[in-house]
Amino acid sequence: MGRAAQRVFDVAVIGAGAAGMMAASVAGQRGLRVVLIDHAQRLAEKIRISGGGRCNFTNLGTTPAQFISQNPNFCRSALAGYTPRDFIDLVERHGIAWHEKHRGQLFCDESSEAIIRMLEQECDAGRVSWRMPCPVQAIAREADHFSIKTGGESIEARQVVMATGGMAIPQLGATDFALKVARQFGLKVVEPRPALVPLTFDAEHWKPFSALSGVSLEVSVRCGQGRSKTVFLEDLLFTHRGLSGPAILQISSYWHPGEPIELDLAPGQDLAEALLAAKPGNRQQLDTALSAIWPKRLAEQWLATAPGRPGAQRMADIPDKTLRALAARIHGWRLTPSGTAGYRKAEVMRGGVDTRGLDQKTMQAKAVPGLYFVGEAVDVTGWLGGYNFQWAWASGVACGRALQAA
Ligand SMILES: Cc1cc2nc3c(=O)[nH]c(=O)nc-3n(C[C@H](O)[C@H](O)[C@H](O)COP(=O)(O)OP(=O)(O)OC[C@H]3O[C@@H](n4cnc5c(N)ncnc54)[C@H](O)[C@@H]3O)c2cc1C
């Protein structure tokens, strides 16, 4: 082998986050010469802050149905090839204690740092070379390899894996670099936008509700029409600027600007029937009566915004028609957000590299042999609850297994 050939890595993985470390470690442990490049000062910041510092690293209920993509079947192969059980086995081999919190969501008992250390050790086991912090300035295709221009050196590799994630939380170093590289090589990109993100409202419209900031309750939330209608039953949180909490983060991934969302603030109950049954001879104020099912602050403040301000009236004095109309409003509160809180507050980016240009088994660009895209950069976006990491692991592994030695 000549000197030039020795300098060339089999693989350069750009982005040492969840998907990048997974792809690098799998390829390295198969004997490939891998270099892992990241511009950040600290390794895997998103894993560190995830799940409130405990990393919701997978979800036992993962199926393709929990992923949003213009090509919903694309994720099937990778998810089937590396399941939540496979990741749990890896976590357990590293002695990391975990627990199930809610609806199949698995978290570390101690800290997300354990997952970062585990991935680092897996990379070391694959003798992966590190370049970090190392900004990547440009990628060019040469005759039989890629040339990666960094701040300090030019790195040559036969294959490149783009694992630079999405644009959520730019303050932690998130960029659109994967999308730029995709376009540079002629791949299509599905329009990116913030997802799993709080929804905001026009300040004037929100004024009466801003006093509810901090109030939380279980709701059912929906948006869309007909077959594209989506519904989640989760907790809602009122904030100064709008709505947040799991219910809103989930629906935000489906919401389109200008569209209303509809909230059922008493899901699973027949409020009209309950109010009419409780009415005869009832001297309680309506807001006091509603405090039985709602936080008191919500009952008082929300009813103050209802037509006719019925909250301070005695139950017995309120006409049946008014109670029925109020119940209908509580079960179907329609609101039109003015926007989202943006990438600074989003957990993920929706959209990304169009999967129709990628091979679903390997993540390789069909038209650019040797170029791969994994993780959040790809147009596959999971629900809240550990699904985005499961996609990162599964797409990273699919790619790591497919990469080729010289
Ligand atoms: C606050 C928060 C909490 C979250 N909690 C969870 C959770 O509990 N469970 C879950 O499943 N998902 C969670 N997510 C989503 C999850 O973190 C991401 O979907 C996942 O990290 C994506 O993995 P990735 O490897 O594709 O990208 P990332 O993990 O974002 O890694 C991308 C890497 O690329 C590097 N990079 C970016 N641009 C460049 C460049 N130009 N040059 C070199 N390097 C670059 C970055 O520094 C980074 O290290 C959370 C996200 C946020 C923001």
Structural domains of the chain sorted by starting position, each given as residue range(s) with its CATH number in brackets: 8-194+348-402 (3.50.50.60), 199-340 (2.40.30.10)
Q: What is the pLDDT of residue 1?
A: 33
Distance 184 CA to ligand 1 centre (A): 22
Distance 346 CA to ligand 1 centre (A): 11
Helix or strand run (H / E) with residue 139: strand 136-141
pLDDT by position in tens, the chain (length 406):
333 334 799 999 999 999 999 999 999 999 999 999 999 999 999 999 999 999 999 999 999 999 999 999 999 999 999 999 999 999 999 999 999 998 899 999 999 999 999 999 999 999 999 999 999 999 999 999 999 999 888 999 999 999 999 999 999 999 999 999 999 999 999 999 999 999 999 999 999 999 999 999 999 999 987 777 889 999 999 999 999 999 999 999 999 999 999 999 999 999 999 999 999 999 999 999 898 889 889 999 988 888 888 888 999 999 999 999 999 999 999 999 999 999 999 999 999 999 999 999 999 999 999 999 999 999 999 999 999 999 999 999 999 999 999 8
Atom 35 of ligand 1, nearest CA residue: 15
Which are the contacts of 217, defined by CB distance < 8 A and separation ≥ 6? 235, 236, 265, 294, 295, 298
Tokens of 398: 């699919």
Which are the contacts of 14, defined by CB distance < 8 A and separation ≥ 6? 20, 37, 38, 136, 139, 148, 160, 161, 162, 163, 164, 177
Distance 233 CA to ligand 1 centre (A): 26
Q: What is the reported pTM? A: 0.96
Report the atom number in ligand 1 closest to the C-alpha of 56. Answer: 8
Residues lining ligand 1, judged by CB closer than 6 Å?
14-20, 37-40, 44, 46, 49-51, 55-56, 135-136, 163-165, 168-169, 173, 175, 177, 347-348, 375-377, 386-389, 392
Q: What is the pLDDT of residue 4?
A: 37
Atom 41 of ligand 1, nearest CA residue: 177
Is there a contact between 266 and 293 (Cβ–Cβ < 8 Å)? Answer: yes
Distance 171 CA to ligand 1 centre (A): 12
Atom 31 of ligand 1, nearest CA residue: 17
Atom 3 of ligand 1, nearest CA residue: 50
Q: What is the pLDDT of residue 292?
A: 86
| CA contacts within 13 A on the Cβ side of 215 | 20
Report the atom number in ligand 1 closest to the C-alpha of 55. Answer: 8
Q: What is the pLDDT of residue 7?
A: 74
Distance 163 CA to ligand 1 centre (A): 9
Q: What is the pLDDT of residue 311?
A: 86
Chain-centroid distance, C-alpha 280: 48
CB-count exposure of residue 404 (10 Å: 0-12, 13-18, 19+) = middle
**For a pocket test of ligand 1, which of 47, 50, 196 has the largest count of ligand atoms closer than 8 A to its C-beta?**
50
Return the axis-axis angle of helices 84-93 and 387-402, rounded to nearest 10°: 80
Report the atom number in ligand 1 closest to the C-alpha of 134. Answer: 43
Cα–Cα distance, 318 to 26 (Å, whole number): 67
